[in-house]
A = this chain, B = another copy of it.
Amino acid sequence: MAVRAAVAGASGYAGGELLRLLLAHPHIEIGALTGHSNAGQRLGALQPHLAALADRTLEPTTPEVLAGHDVVFLALPHGQSAAVAEQLGDDVLVVDMGADFRLAEAAAWEAFYGSPHAGTWPYGLPELPGARAALEGSKRIAVPGCYPTAVSLALFPAYAAGLAEPEAVVVAASGTSGAGKALKPHLLGAEVMGSMSSYGVGGGHRHTPEMAQNLSAAAGEPVTVSFTPTLAPMPRGILATSSAKARPGTSAEDLRAAYAKAYADEPFVHLLPEGRWPATGAVYGSNTVQVQVALDPAAGRIIVVSALDNLTKGTAGGAVQSMNIALGLPEETGLPLDGVAP
């Protein structure tokens, strides 16, 4: 099976990671690569790690350039995917790595993104209940945000099993590639190395409604999420600490059983043995999520720690995993299970 794939937005971090994975995918033939301000440049100058594509040139993001592919990945700024997707045929698999089609509720979209809601596509987090079925054969995929992937996988088993109260508290640390390649002073190496900092405190981060949507669906009732992101001095990785009050009578055994059941057959979720705790270094460059769960008896809270690579499972790897499902390929095809460490 030969699948021809185009990537719109190939000069950014998400696009670069996607290309790294597609190069290793046995069924993918890499077609058009497009950019906006970078159109006309050699990929070797923009993504120097992609030795195999160093001589490829970026083209502009036009319908003509994107035509003639089986799959088109959109790694565009938020709000730009809908216009491009409209111009692609219904028979083309379109995988949107932006936020545009993630939220089901128009009101939540408009409150957090300030523009009209474009619609809702099947959600590319196969581990969530019902998600895998919705992706099979789909021609449209909304890839989740990196934080919502980490947090939803951390908490949905507790909510699905009815063990947690519907008020989640999440603090997550992200590597700076999560902020993209934008030239902002606080993202300079001299500023971020050796420093942890906060941003988007107080509920304003755009990934918040997406987390609430996923956890509410799992719980069968509205779940609020207090989400605080932090910026960590590393290029990649998310370490999320997610917690909620345990429902009365919840035991540590109940909790562990719920997670063991939820992840028994999931190839990319590694529920760690007791006594070991997640580290982003262990999943660097891989599509694996490390998860560990604990019950704090004194505080009466369920604490779940999850670690993933924001560019791999958190974006491009999740996109490829969902593409595999949509195309009918084995879900693990072309995806690294093992991290690059140390």
Contact = CB atoms under 8 A, between A and B. Distances in A.
A301 B139 CA distance: 40
A235 B49 contact: no
Given A189-B235, A299-B224, A241 B198 contact: yes
A23 B335 CA distance: 12
A296 B203 CA distance: 5
A288 B282 CA distance: 22
Contact of A285 (B226, B277, B285): B285
B338 A51 contact: yes
A185 B181 contact: yes
A72 interface: no
Interface stretch (A91-99, A167-175, A257-265): A167-175
A114 interface: no
B196 A342 contact: no
A298 B205 CA distance: 12
Interface of A: 13, 16, 19-20, 23-24, 44-45, 47-54, 167, 169, 171, 173, 175-177, 181, 183-185, 187-199, 201-203, 208, 224-226, 228, 230, 232-237, 239, 241, 243, 270, 273, 276-286, 288, 290, 292, 294-301, 303, 305, 307, 336-342
19 contacts: A16-B341, A24-B336, A24-B338, A49-B281, A49-B283, A49-B339, A49-B340, A52-B337, A54-B270, A181-B190, A183-B188, A191-B235, A194-B235, A194-B281, A195-B234, A202-B294, A203-B294, A226-B299, A228-B303
